[in-house]
Structure 1
Amino acid sequence: FLCCPFLYLVPTIHNPTTATMPQSRREAIYKVIMRHDVAVIEDDPYWLLAGDAAPPIAALGLSSTSGPPVFYVSTLSKCLAPGLRTAYLVVPPSEPIEPILDALRSLSLMPAQTMVSSVTHWIQEGAAQEWMRQIRQDAGQRQKIAASILPGKPIAHPYGLHLWLELSPKLDQYRLIQTAQEQGLGVTSSDVFCPYESSPGAIRIALGGAPDHARLQVALEKLADILLSADKPQRIAAIV
């Protein structure tokens, strides 16, 4: 399967830009792939976390056996708990499932049965939904803390676990990241995500790693000081 060109999409809380496609954009993309008969892999690990995202693109073709194949992939490790290495694949009605099962078996004989059983039980009993509500609430509070501390205009989803901060053209993002790392802060430069030689001047800041809001605030205040200091013009002493 997927022996032809295909389109790879992350439509909800995109990593790293945090962009989320509206319903109109998803419908427009589906019309294009229908016209050109292009296969799609819709990687959607944050859809459950977003809460307000439009339905997946794959949902537009679930009732059709002749539409373009949209393979929908999601996971619980990104939105519920990092240790839950449990993912889901929705195969479009137009595609046979046997080749996909063969491919999965070539990578792993089977998922961890205890983990899958536990997750299934949590979903059926409603525990997973309640934990998701709490995680979404916590993520929203972390985003508010970041917005109140960081300079500039961070780009973020209200319930995302990271944000995207565009930097002033005057800033050397590599020097900034080095300074942040020296103070125990982990931020990621835009070139890590960009396949081209020139990348936008921006950094990705993860908000979910700090164990509590107090330590997140301390870390963000350190980063804000670094950003503000780096943006100030350097004073050069005159040599007489």
Structure 2
Amino acid sequence: MTATIDIQNNIALITMDDGKANAINFDMLAALNEAVDKAEADAKAIVLAGRENRFSGGFDLNAFASLGPEGVYKLLDAGAEFLLRLYGGPLPVVAACTGHAIAMGTFILHACDTRIGAAGEFKLGANETITGMNLPIFAIELAKARLNPVHYTRAMVQAFIYDPKGAVEAGYLDMLTDADKVVDTATGIAGQLSQLPGSAYAYNKRAMRKETLAAIKASIGKHHG
């Protein structure tokens, strides 16, 4: 299992759960895209959640090791396409960050409209510099759009890993709640957002994010870093 969807009261709860770190690979992205397709057809808002104690540990490093350079670029581009769907899509998207979020896990948070995090001993951050990786364009652009500018260097260049309280200050999350209330809190907020006129929400979301969306789209299919 990688991702499931449950629609109740016009809210689509999409849950990532691979039984491990919710690594982002082609299988996970296919399941997520299929779920978003269904949500856009049958719901008015999305809640994107992880498994207990884990939102996502980022891209699947085992896949990176086996794909070869061209395969890695294809996976990065597929990830970028998914982020574009969330960040520029028509529906309100609320993240239920159920625990740790590392690297691509934090970029998914950036692509969601509102981010609810679990209080606790969790780690959130972009660790690319630590692992010797170059940041892809989508990570840089989303960080510029969502992070507190005071934290740009610390978060992205120096790869600082935050606790949930620090993640709110940095801009990875918008608010915290108890771990067992994250999904319910996110669902409540999604319910409120679903009451807004959908056409206006979709237009204003795309209009406000036009430059970021364009920069990410232009990077797809090109070599990263």
TM-score (norm: length of structure 1): 0.27
Between structure 1 and structure 2, the one with the greater Rg is 1
- Greater share of residues in helix: 2
- Greater share of residues in strand: 2
